[in-house]
Amino acid sequence: MIKRRSLGRIRWLLALAVLGAGALSLAGCGGEEGQVREAAETPVETFLTPSPSEIISLAGTPTPTFRPLELAPTPAVLDRQLADTDATRAARQRLVEQRVVPMVSDKAVIAAMLAVPRHAFVPTGYLDMAYDDHPLPIGYGQTISQPSLVAMMTAMLKLEAGDRVLEIGTGSGYQAAILRQLTDQVYTIEIIPELAGTARRIFDELGYGDIHATRADGYYGWWEFAPFDAIIVTAAPDHLPAPLTAQLSPDGGRMVIPIGPPGGYQSLWLVERHGEDISMERVLDVSFVPFTRETE
């Protein structure tokens, strides 16, 4: 049985990036001021269960609760416009120049944002907004993330060609396609079968067929293919899932993950692993859809 909290409620990842003096903050639309302060002032430890010392002792051990993976259904009708035209390319160029270049200096990430046709990942009803710097609904209460936030989180992973990267929360498939521009070892997991199936079909149609995508509860990672040089989580759990830390490469693995209570704001963390040492840096406040769990 799949337990989904807040299904049917769209949580906007609308974010306002403020760059300056090294400080970053991203505010989700619909959030209250008070929630921002609450997220920022909550002690780090609140979000960390198990505690950092428990995580370290778990790191390096295989995930005990690995589940078999199911195939996702492929949609009969794909509600997407896949063709890239002069108009979509121009719109994309504008978006990247105005919203990505000011925030991200990594040239490979900028090139990836210019290359991937975001409009092909959004339902056709939202085509005219595909190159606005906003999240958009993709059905099942989920959203495709805001482009500038996708670029920023991707840059934080510091990917090099050949790195093995795991994404939790395939959603539309857009973030995975961006990752695929940077490395040919992309693994992505989505819990909602219909979204996993649609993303699979788009990957195949757009030439991203070698992205490894599956439907499962990403809490457990993808143990068969671990360790990962990088892990990116695009839904917000209320703690750092120990299996993901365990599957992060001990040789400088990087994980970008929003952690915090569902609804309102969470903190985006950069986790790094060196051997059994796990370091965590809080980067900014963000608003993500909840990380859901599969129950027996």
The residues in 264-293 that bind ligand SAH, with binding defined as CB under 6 A, are 289, 291-293
Can you tell me which of 63, 145, 249, 267 binds ligand SAH, judged by CB under 6 A?
145
Distance, CA of 285 to CA of 15 (rounded, Å): 9
Q: Which helix (H) or strand (E) holds 263?
A: none
Mention every residue, 6+ apart, whose C-beta is less than 8 A from residue 103.
17, 19, 148, 151, 152
Binding span for ligand SAH by CB under 6 A among 20-28, 34-42, 186-194, 273-281: 186-194
SS3 of 77-91: the string is: CCCCCCCCCHHHHHH
CB nearer ligand SAH, residue 256 or residue 271: 256
CB of 173 to ligand SAH, least distance (A): 6
122 contributes a contact to ligand SAH by CB under 6 A = no
Q: What's the distance, Cα to Cα, between the start and end of the chain in Å? A: 6
**Residue 117 to residue 193: CA distance in whole angstroms:** 23
Q: Which stretch binds ligand SAH (CB under 6 A): 85-93, 107-115, 163-171, 242-250?
A: 163-171
Report residue 72 CA to chain centroid gap. 19
| 28 phi and psi angles, rounded to 5 deg | -85, 140
36, 156, 189, 286: residue in contact with ligand SAH (rule CB under 6 A): 189
- Binder of ligand SAH out of 190, 202, 249, 256 (CB under 6 A): 190
Tell me how many residues contact ligand SAH (CB under 6 A): 24
Distance, CA of 270 to CA of 266 (rounded, Å): 13
Judged by CB under 6 A, the residue of 63, 88, 175, 181 near ligand SAH is: 175
Q: Which residues bind ligand SAH (CB under 6 A)?
A: 142-145, 168-169, 171-172, 174-175, 189-192, 195, 217-219, 234-235, 289, 291-293
